[in-house]
Chains A and B, each alone.
Chain A
Amino acid sequence: MKRTTDKVAEQFETFQILDEEGKIVNEEAMPELSDDELKELMTRMVYTRILDQRSIALNRQGRLGFYAPTAGQEASQLGSQYALEQDDFILPGYRDVPQLIWQGLPLYKAFLFSRGHFKGNQMPEDVNAFSPQIIIGAQYVQTAGVALGLQKRNKDAVAITYTGDGGTSQGDFYEGMNFAGAFNSPAIFVVQNNQFAISTPVEKQTAADTLAQKAVAAGIEGIQVDGMDVLAVYAATKDARDRAVNGEGPTLIEALTYRYGPHTMAGDDPTRYRTEEMDNEWEKRDPLVRFRKFLEDKGLWSEDEENEIIEKAKEEIKAAVKEADNTPKQKVTDLIGNMYETLPQHLEEQMEEYKAKESK
């Protein structure tokens, strides 16, 4: 007799368009993207890989603070963001800074977020997003609320959120999906399954065969995609978005991916829990390598173009660090001033106290 869970898992086979050699394996699912759009996707992935390398280096030099590496996850992060419109609302986790940047957050602000400066969390007016969420799962329940809000305002927009494999064990993960399902709201829940929550492998999070099947508990659509395949991630997100704005409710997307670096730059050492074989195996699936092959076969990509982007990224990063350096230091009076619309008695007093200190 078959287990019930086997039957469930059969419904969540990995969706893939591009194989590791850069060949199209699922022609009919191929999204409609122009040559320029395909090149733009590659440009963003290359840029973001460089941004990750530079961010790690800058962190080691003490020129950045909190940083959660992103290398390996470019397809999953940028493929999904590329399927969004400017009106969509992003609720990122702490590793999802690249999505914010490509939605319009200036690089220097991303660096200020890393350093711990409130100006890094001030989104530009046309970027509908919260700053990266540190409490794993909180972004999920909030997404249900943003999506219900968009629905009530009759906007043709979605709320999209991201968590990791470990995050699927949180109560808020389930509550968020379940609320969005019960209200039939336009939400996209992305799980970037990068195989590890710090040192804990996904097998220790759950006995479920896939994370996508957790959608079943909420009665919503679920799909597992090859998260190293930018076309598959884009197509799945685009489809989820189309259905959401058509009133067909939320979707859970599980993207199978991998982080090449440590969990964060705060002393995590992946060699303690990951084997070299595992790293090598996932490097073969690198989203940049396969998409580069795909574009080169179509005559759309060259080494020169790639180098040009790398140089551009490095220059812009340098300028952004400088701009972050030039941002005025925070004062206690700034922090007090950002607490309430009108200052209550006790903060009024403390404001005066710190104004006096700061003017010395």
Chain B
Amino acid sequence: MAQMTMIQAITDGLRTELKNDENVLVFGEDVGQNGGVFRATEGLQDEFGEDRVFDTPLAESGIGGLSIGLSTQGFRPVPEIQFFGFVYEVMDSISGQMARMRYRSGNTVNMPITIRSPFGGGVHTPELHADSLEGLMAQQPGLKVVIPSNPYDAKGLIISSIRDNDPVIFLEHMKLYRSFRDEVPEEAYEVELGKAKVTREGTDVTLVAYGAMVQASVKAAEALEEQGISAEVIDLRTIAPMDVETVVESVKKTNRAVVVQEAQRQAGIASQVVAEIQERAILHLEAPVLRVAAPDTVYAFTQAEEIWLPNHNDIVEKVNDVINY
């Protein structure tokens, strides 16, 4: 076991798979000699060579096309999109092409691609770096969307994503990259895609979260405990396809739920969680399922992040609304 930050765990996961499978290719803008703008691919080109880890021209759509083409020759591409706000440039390659390839080819062609990309607020980035656009991806049949919230999950999930034979969008929250360390096993291990985790057990209310909002929910749960409210925190880990079973099971126990996301209220995937709960557990609910989300504006100007991003206080407040309903 080693103590690792989330970004170290991701690098470790990439190294593990580059070693494990010679078909794995890591490429993108500045991921080679430079080791990535966040050092996520640091040392990988030196270790595995330019044939395996390489830079590309500055064009996201081209990177998407490159990944699709390489898949036809038996490679397992792990491209990077420098910031997920740039995904608009490559929406066709992702949603219009690779997500559909298995289906459109009648199950004769598959795309074992893992797209890594940083996102998320709280680190004062310039425009279109921090936007939460996972909701767009979650709406596309054929994709899987994975968002780890801690170093242990990050390594296990990146390994599972790379080994998956269908395209996976792997979103890395920038604020979580180096905010804390965790025990991470040195060997290869998988965290199953499509499976949520009960991060903290509780009996009075279920908090469903993902990304940086998992930590915020845990923090809220600790504050709520002082009020005598026991909150169960579920980390979705994979937001699409979603582990509805784990969520519904928890709600049946607590009878109350709040869904927490960093994305705007009209975006993200919280409404999908709410819909699933009301379809499957409405008779177990003591109160409506409420959402914690950002305001429906464009992502905040840097100096307004603090007043705009949802935090643990917003969660505590919403839980009180649900408890006192």
Which positions in A face B, CB cutoff 8 Å?
A: 89, 118-119, 121-123, 128, 130-131, 135, 138, 140-150, 152-153, 155, 159, 171-172, 175-176, 178-179, 182, 335, 337-341, 344-347
15 chain-A/chain-B pairs, Cβ below 8 angstroms:
A121-B108, A141-B66, A143-B69, A146-B73, A148-B66, A150-B73, A153-B74, A179-B57, A182-B57, A339-B102, A341-B102, A341-B164, A341-B165, A344-B194, A345-B241
CA distance A338 to B108 in the complex (A): 9
Query: Is the CB–CB distance between B68 and A142 below 8 Å?
Result: yes
Query: Is the CB–CB distance between B102 and A172 below 8 Å?
Result: no
Query: Is the CB–CB distance between A89 and B102 below 8 Å?
Result: no
B residues 99-157 near A (Cβ < 8 Å) are 102-110, 141-142, 144
Partner of B92, one of A135, A153, A155, A338: A135
Partner of A345, one of B68, B164, B242: B242
B245 at the interface (CB under 8 A from A): yes
Chain B positions within 8 Å of A148 at CB level: 66, 69-70
B215 at the interface (CB under 8 A from A): no
Chain A positions within 8 Å of B75 at CB level: 149, 152
Apart from A176-B62, A346-B241, 6 more pairs, CB < 8 Å: A130-B72, A135-B96, A145-B70, A175-B59, A179-B62, A344-B241
B97 at the interface (CB under 8 A from A): yes
Chain A positions within 8 Å of B73 at CB level: 146, 149-150, 152-153, 155
User: Provided the pairs A138-B96, A142-B97, A346-B241 are in contact, do residues A119 and B106 lie with their beta carbons within 8 angstroms?
Assistant: yes
Q: How far, in Å, is A13 (CB) from chain B's closest CB?
A: 30
B64 at the interface (CB under 8 A from A): yes
Chain B positions within 8 Å of A346 at CB level: 241-242, 244
Pick the 4 closest A-B CB pairs, nearest first.
Answer: A145-B69, A141-B65, A149-B73, A344-B241
Chain B positions within 8 Å of A123 at CB level: 105, 108
Query: Is the CB–CB distance between B62 and A338 below 8 Å?
Result: no
Query: Is the CB–CB distance between A335 and B51 below 8 Å?
Result: no
Q: How far, in Å, is A250 (CB) from chain B's closest CB?
A: 13
Most B C-beta atoms less than 10 A away, residue of A123, A171, A345? A345
Most B C-beta atoms less than 10 A away, residue of A143, A145, A152? A145
B161 at the interface (CB under 8 A from A): no
B residues 33-84 near A (Cβ < 8 Å) are 51, 56-57, 59, 61-62, 64-75
Partner of B51, one of A118, A128, A143, A152: A152
Tell me what chain A mostly uses at the interface: helix, strand, loop, or mixed.
helix
User: Provided the pairs A175-B61, A179-B56, A345-B194 are in contact, do residues A339 and B103 lie with their beta carbons within 8 angstroms?
Assistant: yes
CA distance A128 to B141 in the complex (A): 26
Look across to chain B and name the residue whose beta carbon is closest to the beta carbon of A330: B106
Query: Is the CB–CB distance between B141 and A142 below 8 Å?
Result: no
CA distance A159 to B69 in the complex (A): 9
User: Provided the pairs A145-B65, A152-B51, A339-B141 are in contact, do residues A121 and B72 lie with their beta carbons within 8 angstroms?
Assistant: no
CA distance A338 to B102 in the complex (A): 6
Query: Is the CB–CB distance between A130 and B61 below 8 Å?
Result: no
Partner of B107, one of A128, A141, A152, A338: A338
Partner of A122, one of B97, B105, B242: B105
Query: Is the CB–CB distance between B93 and A141 below 8 Å?
Result: yes
Chain B positions within 8 Å of A338 at CB level: 102-103, 106-107
CA distance A210 to B106 in the complex (A): 39
Chain B positions within 8 Å of A178 at CB level: 57, 59, 62
Look across to chain B and name the residue whose beta carbon is closest to the beta carbon of A337: B107
B232 at the interface (CB under 8 A from A): no
Chain B positions within 8 Å of A144 at CB level: 62, 65-66, 69
B204 at the interface (CB under 8 A from A): no
Chain B positions within 8 Å of A135 at CB level: 92, 96-97
B166 at the interface (CB under 8 A from A): yes
Q: How far, in Å, is B18 (CB) from chain A's closest CB?
A: 15
Partner of B243, one of A128, A145, A345: A345
Query: Is the CB–CB distance between B103 and A118 below 8 Å?
Result: yes
User: Provided the pairs A138-B92, A345-B242 are in contact, do residues A149 and B107 lie with their beta carbons within 8 angstroms?
Assistant: no
Partner of A339, one of B72, B108, B142: B142
Query: Is the CB–CB distance between A145 and B67 below 8 Å?
Result: yes
Look across to chain A and name the residue whose beta carbon is closest to the beta carbon of B167: A340
CA distance A142 to B92 in the complex (A): 11
Chain A positions within 8 Å of B107 at CB level: 122, 337-338
Chain A positions within 8 Å of B65 at CB level: 138, 140-145, 172, 175-176, 179
Look across to chain B and name the residue whose beta carbon is closest to the beta carbon of A139: B65
Most B C-beta atoms less than 10 A away, residue of A121, A142, A144, A146? A142
Chain B positions within 8 Å of A176 at CB level: 62, 65
Q: How far, in Å, is B60 (CB) from chain A's closest CB?
A: 9
Q: How far, in Å, is B46 (CB) from chain A's closest CB?
A: 19
CA distance A136 to B38 in the complex (A): 34
Chain A positions within 8 Å of B59 at CB level: 175, 178-179
Chain B positions within 8 Å of A121 at CB level: 104-106, 108
Chain B positions within 8 Å of A131 at CB level: 104-105
Chain A positions within 8 Å of B144 at CB level: 344
